[in-house]
Structure 1
Amino acid sequence: MKSTLYLLLQIFVLVIFRSDVFCQEAHKWGGQKDGTFSNPVLPADYSDLDAIRVGDDFYAISSTMQFSPGMVILHSKDLVNWEIAGHVVNDLTKVSPNLDWSSMNSYGRGIWAGSIRYYKNKFWVYFASPDDGFFMSSATDPKGPWEPLHKVWDVSGWDDCCSFCDDDGQLYFIATNFKLDPNNNKKYNIHLFKMSQDGKTLLPNTDSIIHQSPGSEANKLYKINGLYYHFFSEVKAEGRVMMMERSQNIHGPWEIRQLNHVNKTVDREPNQGGLIQLKDGKWWFFTHHGSGDWEGRAASLLPVTWIDGWPMIGEVGKDGIGNMVWSAKAPIAVNKALKIQTDDDFSAVTLRPQWEWNYQPRSDKWSLSARKGFLRLMAFRPLKPDDTVRILLRAGNTITQRSMRTKFNIATVKIDISGMYNGQFAGLTHFSTKSYCMIGIKQDGEDRKLVYSSDSQNLIGVTITGSNVWLRSSWDYQGLNRYFYSLNGKDFLPFGNSTQLTWGSYRGDRVGIFNFNRFATKGYIDLDYFDYQYSKQ
């Protein structure tokens, strides 16, 4: 009896102290020193993934919603270590004017899931915007430049599309139409179209519905060993799972199988991504975890086992269906030279690819050339300057990066505040649409004060008399953040309260730099450098 109680106590402690990290080994991620890797391989908000192999290189895309530039491109040599290669969409207003700094009213909208494919000697990216339709672009180099964005179809209520080039060169397009039925329930129909040879037009009278089920999304098309495979996700009693249809004809009839089991609490529903075959013939699946936590929807790598012609994803159980895998031998020798970029000294002529603005920025209010080696952010009024509770969500010129979920995270920015003006507030922030916290300098008349601000509290600190201030954010694995400041770049003092980072509108927490003026379009700050250190394993 005593041993049984002890065992139950151990289980209880394990659940309590690991419930926020689901079943991964606490703090571990990515490539390990023993030739294995731990999931997630990207512990940050890289959602709605698709991935391909071209020669010795792997490329993936991830949705970016209202952040600009849009649709991030990732590059890897080993499927474990990734770098940011660039973005597909430089100007979000080509998708919708609502994604501009002058509107800022499309949180949770914008650039949704898409697909990346390589055929006809080009990379092709297609994606959906739920309010604005389908878009595409192509490039010979995934780092860019990408062709001007083209609207394939002006429509609403569609998502999760994929292009496909058959052996005869015929192009196809698959996507989900979600709409309300007479009982006000969402109905998901998956449609298949033929496309024109340039991939820019859906051909009339070729539309057919090939599947319908609750939550049918995440569409991908493949042709493997002469059979057509349609990957998608579907909502079942256990959660959103991966599904697969196969057929000898692209129009069906289709056989269907479930590929994995999920548990929201334990594995946070890996369910959307891309099948990849390596040169050695083995298969892997690069996926996001669909149920996000404060860091967003992180990315994991899962082995694929083919059983009777079906690609089961994860560790295959007794029922023949895959389950989440938290660690495995790396598929290829680990390439440690690649990593997610974070630091910037602003010496380049363009912004480094880790940066994304909150909405399309006002192009005349930021500059890398106004002062060499600095990023200048010029202040202007927020769209709702009197909404002090949510003011950051309507303030332009907020430049951001994804917040990583690792053992330790320290982001430091050096700011020259000598150009600030009355009414201006500038500094370092964490934000989602659910909550925010900020540390910065607020100018009132001639006085410049250190200020901490969050959803529920504002604290006024010391008067800043010098030209430079260093602001720092430090957060842990659980997403508990603390701010610090320094007046000499060496001695940092804490200021403000600890804050729990959150996610909202399908996006994880962002660390960023903000600058606005409630009263006038006046004042600026110069960013000398941004240094972001995170735990590498």
Structure 2
Amino acid sequence: MKIRIFITLLFFTLLPFTVLGQQTGKWGDQGNGTYINPVIPADFSDLDAIRVGDDFYAISSTMQYSPGMAVLHSRDLVNWKIISHVVSDLTQISPDLNWNKMDSYGKGIWAGAIRYYKGKFWVYFGTPDDGFFMSTAENAAGPWTPLHQVWKVSGWDDCCPFCDDDGQLYFMATNFENDPKNNRKYNIHLFKMPPDGKSLLMESDSIIHQSPGSEANKLFKINGFYYHLFSEVKAEGRVLMMKRSKNILGPWETRQLNHVNKALDKEPNQGGLIQLTSGRWYFFTHHGTGDWEGRAASLLPVTWLDGWPVIGEPGKDSIGSMVWKAPKPINIPNIEKGKSANDDFNVQVLQPQWEWNYQPRADKWSLTEHKGCLRLHAFMPVNQTGGNILLKAGNMITQRSFRTASCEVTIKLDIRGMCNGGHAGLTHFSTAGTSCIGIKQFDSSRYLTYTSENKDSIGPAVKDNMVWLRSVWDFQGINRFFYSVDGKLFLPFGAKNQLTWGSYRGDRIGIFNFNTAQECGFVDIDFFRYKY
């Protein structure tokens, strides 16, 4: 099949994000055959994506959150749903990612790649301190095989496996700590792997690229050419680059694929290059610069020019720029658009939209002790001396905070099992700033409590066993908390807060329960309702 593909964008519109997003709050599937970027206005960082038959699959890094490495599914590249995670237990990577450590913010599971060959899905990823890992699955929804460490090493990231036409496996990754003088020269290496893909043949090591800040590696073979997609820091910012060669070891030609306008774009960066069954191509990517919502996900059309995939709208220089609105790649009537955020906790397994802050303490949460509820048992934080105590408190379960025109989360909390020293509630969570509304028990009484900047504001006593807590936030990330004692009348409590980005992560909405005095008490969450 010829590589030249002409994409006709019906009623194609290029508008700055300040018009499409900040004034209207529109995003994703518009219901009229078009979509607006971002297609997921939340923290789905370090994306990679592939097509298998008529389905699309993507992975997203999760750092210290567990389960790790989210797996998403779509049928049209616009509407996505989390279907599984590759890593069920983060302690398989490092004990530092367990509930009794909680000191690896900004670390943990970084970028990886997903591929499908030899009849199964393959996912590889790296951590900055522990090296590279892999897992496989016959079904992307799982189960995934036990995590296997490919190479124990530090100072490497952004890996990608590749299966050549003859079945030879390769592995590509960036060494970002190769210069003892810290000149930040990044070396991109290529290795061969044995047929099981579980180790590297070190004698095959080749450096195929070197520059300041080269990452986000992906390797493809298209029409007889090897294509190496990566990002690189240029004068205008971080841009997408590509090298191509008839030989996997080079020599390589190099082209820039997109421009950066940071005022509008937040530079498309890590992502997957995907060909549809129709022959058209797209790039599913995160935006490298994070705001309070994190690194959101966008979908860009790709136009092939002279054998190079130009990402976005091609300019006169044959380099692409950001596209904010376009026709959907595949228009499926009545396609499911929900992101499965709500939960009534009526099943015995956690739904895949949930991620704990660090590997949770297995004996301190349950979906079976109180049928129809998530029970969180309280235990003491790892460290209570100064700073944000929630950063050191286990048993926090989270979802991503969406950036839409308006958002609202409501939980119903049964607090009858609390004891002195207990603190449970609803939080907006980031290493750069945390606020929460909840219930504190001391002197055998329970009080509504608002916390911001690590300072508590104690409210009225709570006499009943049931309390409803709510957070409402807007497109700018300004949130306000509310409470109710009957589930009908909600009253504001506490000040307004600015949601924040920290340690490479966007804001999370979370539910927590800990005790600063003793290992005692529990709460039951009856439901979690998310409107956006």
Q: Which amino acid aligns with 1:205?
A: E
- How far does residue 34 in structure 1 lie from its aligned partner after superposition? 1.9
Tell me which residue corresponds to 2:193: 195
Equivalent of residue 329 in structure 2, options 328, 331, 334: 331
Tell me which residue corresponds to 2:213: 215
SS in 1 for 2:212: coil
- How far does residue 281 in structure 1 lie from its aligned partner after superposition? 0.3
Tell me which residue corresponds to 1:525: 523
Q: Which amino acid aligns with 2:344?
A: D
Tell me which residue corresponds to 1:450: 448
Tell me which residue corresponds to 1:308: 306
- How far does residue 263 in structure 1 lie from its aligned partner after superposition? 2.1
| Contact 1:403/1:511 (<8 A) preserved | yes
- How far does residue 491 in structure 1 lie from its aligned partner after superposition? 0.5
Cα distance in 1 for residues equivalent to 2:23 and 2:391? 35
Tell me which residue corresponds to 1:9: none
- How far does residue 421 in structure 1 lie from its aligned partner after superposition? 0.4
Cα distance in 1 for residues equivalent to 2:398 and 2:421? 22
- How far does residue 457 in structure 1 lie from its aligned partner after superposition? 3.8
Cα distance in 1 for residues equivalent to 2:83 and 2:38? 20
| Contact 1:31/1:81 (<8 A) preserved | yes
SS in 1 for 2:496: strand
TM-score by length of 1: 0.95
1:243-322 correspondence to structure 2 within 5 Å = 243-322=241-320
- How far does residue 386 in structure 1 lie from its aligned partner after superposition? 3.3
User: CA distance change for structure 1 residues 380 and 158 in 2, over 3 Å: closer, same or farther?
Assistant: same
Q: Which amino acid aligns with 1:174?
A: M
| Contact 1:23/1:267 (<8 A) preserved | no
User: CA distance change for structure 1 residues 25 and 287 in 2, over 3 Å: closer, same or farther?
Assistant: farther
Q: Which amino acid aligns with 2:60?
A: S
Cα distance in 2 for residues equivalent to 1:85 and 1:339? 13
- How far does residue 22 in structure 1 lie from its aligned partner after superposition? 8.7
Q: Which amino acid aligns with 2:292?
A: W
SS in 1 for 2:38: coil
Matched, 1:359 2:358: yes
Equivalent of residue 411 in structure 1, options 394, 409, 412: 409
1:30-429 correspondence to structure 2 within 5 Å = 30-179=28-177, 181-334=179-332, 336-387=335-386, 389-429=387-427
Q: Provide the alpha-carbon RMSD of the alignment.
A: 1.4
Q: Which amino acid aligns with 1:349?
A: Q
1:2-21 correspondence to structure 2 within 5 Å = none
Q: Show structure 1 runs of 5+ residues with no match.
A: 1-13
Cα distance in 2 for residues equivalent to 1:186 and 1:378? 46
Q: Which amino acid aligns with 2:215?
A: E
- Number of aligned positions between the proteins: 517
Cα distance in 2 for residues equivalent to 1:138 and 1:95? 16
SS in 1 for 2:204: coil
Runs of 4+ in structure 1 over 4 Å off: 21-25
- How far does residue 402 in structure 1 lie from its aligned partner after superposition? 0.1
Cα distance in 2 for residues equivalent to 1:33 and 1:370? 42
User: CA distance change for structure 1 residues 309 and 25 in 2, over 3 Å: closer, same or farther?
Assistant: farther
Cα distance in 2 for residues equivalent to 1:398 and 1:469? 18
Question: Cα deviations across residues 74-115 of structure 1 (Å, max 9, x unaligned)?
Answer: 000000001111100000000110000010010000000000
1:493-512 correspondence to structure 2 within 5 Å = 493-512=491-510
- How far does residue 266 in structure 1 lie from its aligned partner after superposition? 1.3
SS in 2 for 1:156: coil
Cα distance in 1 for residues equivalent to 2:529 and 2:129? 37
Cα distance in 1 for residues equivalent to 2:520 and 2:365? 13
Q: Which amino acid aligns with 2:376?
A: L
Range 337-346 or range 54-63, more displaced: 337-346
Cα distance in 2 for residues equivalent to 1:438 and 1:431? 8
Cα distance in 2 for residues equivalent to 1:341 and 1:217? 32
Cα distance in 1 for residues equivalent to 2:299 and 2:414? 42
Cα distance in 2 for residues equivalent to 1:135 and 1:180? 20
Cα distance in 2 for residues equivalent to 1:182 and 1:169? 37
Q: Which amino acid aligns with 1:250?
A: I
| Contact 2:415/2:522 (<8 A) preserved | yes
Tell me which residue corresponds to 1:7: none
Equivalent of residue 470 in structure 1, options 468, 471, 477: 468
- How far does residue 532 in structure 1 lie from its aligned partner after superposition? 0.6
| Contact 1:424/1:442 (<8 A) preserved | yes
Q: Which amino acid aligns with 1:528?
A: D
Cα distance in 2 for residues equivalent to 1:39 and 1:508? 18
Tell me which residue corresponds to 1:5: none
Cα distance in 1 for residues equivalent to 2:60 and 2:180? 34
| Contact 2:20/2:36 (<8 A) preserved | no
SS in 2 for 1:93: helix
Q: Which amino acid aligns with 1:381?
A: M
User: CA distance change for structure 1 residues 123 and 24 in 2, over 3 Å: closer, same or farther?
Assistant: farther
Cα distance in 1 for residues equivalent to 2:495 and 2:435? 9
Question: Cα deviations across residues 15-50 of structure 1 (Å, max 9, x unaligned)?
Answer: 9xx76x897763010011221100000000000000
- How far does residue 408 in structure 1 lie from its aligned partner after superposition? 1.1
Question: Cα deviations across residues 443-466 of structure 1 (Å, max 9, x unaligned)?
Answer: 002110000001164211110010
Question: Cα deviations across residues 180-214 of structure 1 (Å, max 9, x unaligned)?
Answer: 63543212000000001001010130000000011
Identity of matched residues, %: 68
Cα distance in 2 for residues equivalent to 1:518 and 1:23? 42
Cα distance in 2 for residues equivalent to 1:462 and 1:86? 41
| Contact 2:20/2:26 (<8 A) preserved | no
| Contact 1:401/1:510 (<8 A) preserved | yes
Cα distance in 2 for residues equivalent to 1:386 and 1:22? 45
| Contact 1:441/1:448 (<8 A) preserved | yes
Q: Show structure 2 runs of 5+ residues with no match.
A: 1-14
Cα distance in 1 for residues equivalent to 2:271 and 2:350? 28
| Contact 1:24/1:326 (<8 A) preserved | no
| Contact 1:245/1:257 (<8 A) preserved | yes
Cα distance in 2 for residues equivalent to 1:183 and 1:154? 23
| Contact 2:366/2:375 (<8 A) preserved | yes
Question: Cα deviations across residues 460-518 of structure 1 (Å, max 9, x unaligned)?
Answer: 11100100000000000100000000000000000000000001000000000011000
- How far does residue 385 in structure 1 lie from its aligned partner after superposition? 2.1
